[in-house]
Chain A
Amino acid sequence: MERKMVCISCPLGCRLTVTWEDENDIAVKGNKCAKGESYAQEEILAPKRVVTATVRAATGAVRRLPVKTNLPMLKGYIPALLNRIYKLELRPPIVRGQVLLKNIEGTGVDLVATRNLKKV
C-alpha cells in the first residue's frame, strides 16, 4: 500500500511517501529528518493528536478555562473525551499545568489546564 502525507512534526512540512506491505515493514521517503519516519509510522499504526478545548469555570475571571492533553491522544478516543470535557465544571483557583483528568481511559494521557485561573 502507498499513502502520501505531509509531516507535521515541525513547520517545515516535508511531503512524505509511505509504502508498506504489512505493519512491520513501513518505508518512508521524502523526510528531511528522523521525525518524519516516526511520524509516518505513527500515522499508519496509531494516529494521535493533541486535544485542546475549554472547560466551564464555576466562577472566575474568565468563563471558560482552556485545557489540553499533555500528550497526543489516540484519534479514536477524541470525541468521547471532548464530550466528557464539556461536562466538567471547575472551581478556581487553578494553576497552569494542573492535572484535571488523570490517565484518561488508561491511555496514560492527562488533561491539564493551560492557563491560571484566579479566584475573584
Chain B
Amino acid sequence: MIEKHYDAVVFGGGSAGLAAAVRIAGQGCSVAVLERENELGGILNQCIHNGFGIQRFKEDLTGPEYAERFIEMVEELDNVSIFLETTALEVTHGTPHSVFAYSKRYGVIKIECRAIVLAMGCRERNRGNIGIPGTRPAGVFTAGLAQRLINIDGYIPGRRAVILGSGDIGLIMARRLTWVGVEVLGVIEIQGYPSGLTRNIVQCLNDFNIPLYLSHTLSEIRGKDRVTGVTVTPLQDGKTVTAKSFDLDCDTILLSVGLIPDNELSRKFGVSLNPETGGPFVDAGLMSSVPGVFACGNVLHVHDLVDYVSEESERCASFVVEYLNGTYNPLLHHPIVSGANVKYVIPNKYLPGMTNRFYLRSLIVKNKAELVISLEGEPLKRKNLAHVQPSEMVSFSLDEQDLSRGSESREKKLEVSIY
C-alpha cells in the first residue's frame, strides 16, 4: 500500500476545497486534495449559467469560469497534490490523522496528515426525504442530477416537466429545460414565498411565463413505468384543500427541495454535528469538535452564493495554517448562539482580539429588520437589515472593538437575534 504524508488533506475539489487548498499551500504547507470526480471544480462545472463571482471578482461569471480561476491557481502551486477519481472511505482521527483513499490508479493510499479540511459540499434532498405519495415510476429526478445530465452529458430527461420546490437549482433548471426545448408546466412551492433568489424568479420563470404555484404541494405522482402526471393541491393555513386540486400532465418531475451538508466522512472522524445546519459545530477558526479537523463551504452549512463559500474557505485555511504552525488556541474561543428569530449562526464561537465574520439564517420574513448581538441581555452591536428571509443568508462581522466590552464581562456567551 502506498503511504503519503502531507501537512493537510482537503476532502473535495469543489469551490470550498480549492479555495482552502490554494490558501494553505500559499502559506508553504503541503496539501493533498482528494476529489471523487475526474476533474476539479465540483458542482460549479455543471452550473453553466452566469451569476457567479459578482462579490468576489466584481464580474459576472459562469460556474465553469469561476471554477477555472481557482483550478488555475491550485495548479500553479507545486506543494498541492491533486488526487482525481479518488474516494476517501476510511478515516481515523489522531496524531497524525489517517485517511484511506481509494482509486483505480493507485489502489488504496494511506495518507497521514496533521490537519483535515472537510469540503465535501452537500447533497440534494430527494423524494424519499419528503415523502411524496403515489407510484414510483421513472422520470423523477433531483434538479441537480438533471442539471448534470443536461449540461455535462447532454442528456434530456423528458419533454414536459414539473418542478417541485423553488430553490435556486429548481429555478435555474426551469430556464435550462426551456432552453433545451423542454416544456416547463410550473414550479410548485409549499411555502408562501419563493425559496430561491429574486433574480432567479425574474430571469428563470417570469421571462418564460412559467407559473409559480406558491402554497401548493405535490400530492400525488402517477404513472406505472414512466411519470404520466401529477396532482397539485393548494394549501390554506397549512392544510391541503383537496377540492381545489388540479392535475398537470407531465412526464418528468424535478425536485429542488433543499440541500443537506454531506457529512458521512465527518461522522467517521467523530465530529459532532449541528442538527440546525446538518454540518459540524465549529469554533471561531472553523475547527470542528475534533482537533485538527476543519470544515468550510456547503459541508458546514448551505450557502446561497459561491462567493461566500470561497471567502469562508480561505478564512478557514488561514486557521488551518495557524494550527499547523502550533499557534492555534481553541481555549480562547467563546460561544455565540442563536437568539430570537435566528435559525443558526456560523461559526458557533468567536475569538476576541480579531475580526470575526459570521453567516446566519433568519427564521422569519421581514422588511426593515434589525440584527442585534447581545451579551448578558445587553445589546453589544446592532445592524439594520433591509430585508430578511430564510432563503437569504445574512452576514455580519464583529471586530476587536465590538468585542472589547465582552472581555471585561465574566459571561462570554453572545446571542444573535433578529427583530
Binding site for B on A (CB under 8 A): 5-6, 8, 10-13, 49-54, 56, 61-64, 66, 68, 75, 78, 82, 96, 114-116
> For the complex, what is the distance from the CA of A11 to the CA of B52, rounded to whole Å?
11
Contact of A11 with B154 in the complex, beta carbons under 8 Å: no
- Does A52 contact B202, Cβ atoms closer than 8 Å? no
User: B220 contacts the other chain (Cβ, under 8 Å)?
Assistant: no
Q: Name B160-181 residues within 8 Å CB distance of A.
A: 179-180
| A6 lies within 8 A of B201 (CB) | yes
Interface pair B154/A54, CB less than 8 Å apart = yes
With A6-B199, A8-B199, A54-B151 as contacts: A96 and B65 at CB distance below 8 Å? yes
Q: Determine the distance from Cα of A97 to Cα of B64 in the docked complex, in whole angstroms.
A: 12
A96 touches B68 (CB 8 A): yes
B49 interface residue, CB < 8 Å from A?
yes
B151 and A115 contact, CB distance less than 8 A: no
What 15 additional pairs, Cβ within 8 angstroms, besides A13-B197, A64-B153?
A6-B202, A10-B54, A11-B54, A50-B50, A50-B60, A52-B48, A53-B48, A54-B154, A62-B39, A64-B154, A66-B62, A68-B48, A75-B207, A96-B64, A115-B65
Question: How many whole Å from A54's CB to the nearest CB in chain B?
Answer: 6
Chain B, range 87-124, C-beta contacts under 8 Å to A: none
Shortest Cβ distance from residue B38 to the other chain A in the assembled complex, whole angstroms: 8
CA of A10 to CA of B55, assembled, Å: 9
Contact B203 A52 (CB under 8 A): no
**How many residues of chain B are within 8 Å of chain A by beta carbon?**
30
A64 touches B151 (CB 8 A): yes
In the assembled complex, how far is the CB of residue A67 from the closest CB belonging to chain B, in whole angstroms? 8
Q: CA separation between A30 and B67, bound complex, in Å? A: 35
Question: Could you tell me the distance between the alpha carbons of A82 and B154 in the complex, rounded to whole angstroms?
Answer: 14
Of the residues A11, A56, A61, A68, contact of B305 by C-beta under 8 Å: A11
State the CA gap A62–B50 with chains docked (Å): 20
The answer, among B60, B63, B199, B207, for a CB contact under 8 Å with A13, is B199
B145 in the interface (beta carbon within 8 A): no
A sample of 23 inter-chain contacts (CB < 8 A) reads A6-B198, A8-B198, A8-B203, A10-B54, A11-B197, A11-B305, A12-B386, A13-B197, A49-B203, A50-B50, A50-B60, A52-B49, A52-B62, A56-B154, A62-B39, A63-B153, A66-B48, A66-B151, A78-B179, A114-B61, A114-B65, A115-B67, A116-B68
Q: Which of B271-328 contact A (CB under 8 A)?
A: 305
> Which B residues touch A115, using CB under 8 A?
45, 64-65, 67-68
Q: How far is the CB of A29 from chain B (nearest CB, A)?
A: 16
> Do B179 and A82 touch across chains, with their CB atoms under 8 A apart?
yes
Q: How far apart are A60's CB and chain B's nearest CB, in angstroms?
A: 12
Q: In the bound complex, how far is the Cα of B55 from the Cα of A9, in angstroms?
A: 12
B354: Cβ under 8 A from any A Cβ: no
Minimal Cβ-Cβ distance residue in B for A96: B68
Complex CA gap A68/B386 in Å reads: 33
A5 touches B202 (CB 8 A): yes
Q: Residue B132 at the A interface, CB < 8 A?
A: no
Given A49-B203, A52-B50, A61-B39; A114-B64 close (CB under 8 Å): yes
B residues sitting closer than 8 Å to A (CB atoms) are 39, 45, 48-50, 54-55, 60-65, 67-68, 151-154, 179-180, 197-199, 201-203, 207, 305, 386
Residues of B within 8 A of A78 (CB): 179
Q: Are B199 and A114 in contact (CB under 8 A)?
A: no
Q: Could you say which residues of chain B place their CB within 8 Å of the CB of A53?
A: 48, 179
Q: How far is the CB of B16 from chain A (nearest CB, A)?
A: 19
Q: How far is the CB of B416 from chain A (nearest CB, A)?
A: 22
Q: Is the CB of B62 within 8 A of A68?
A: yes
Q: How far is A68 from B64 in the complex, measured between Cα atoms in Å?
A: 11
A residues within 8 A CB of B60? 50
How near does chain A come to B167, taking the closest CB pair, in angstroms? 16
Centre residue among B49, B54, B64 by max chain A CB count within 10 A? B64
Instruction: For B202, list chain A residues within 8 Å (CB).
Output: 5-6, 8
| Bound-state Cα–Cα, A6 to B45, Å | 28
Q: Which of chain B's residues has its CB closest to A10's CB?
A: B54
Q: In the bound complex, how far is the Cα of B65 from the Cα of A63, in angstroms? A: 17
Q: Give the complex CA separation of A115 and B44 in angstroms.
A: 11
Q: Measured between alpha carbons, how far is A63 from B48 in the docked complex, in Å? A: 14
Given contacts A6-B202, A50-B60, contact A64 B68 (CB under 8 A): no
A12 and B55 alpha carbons, distance in the complex (Å): 12
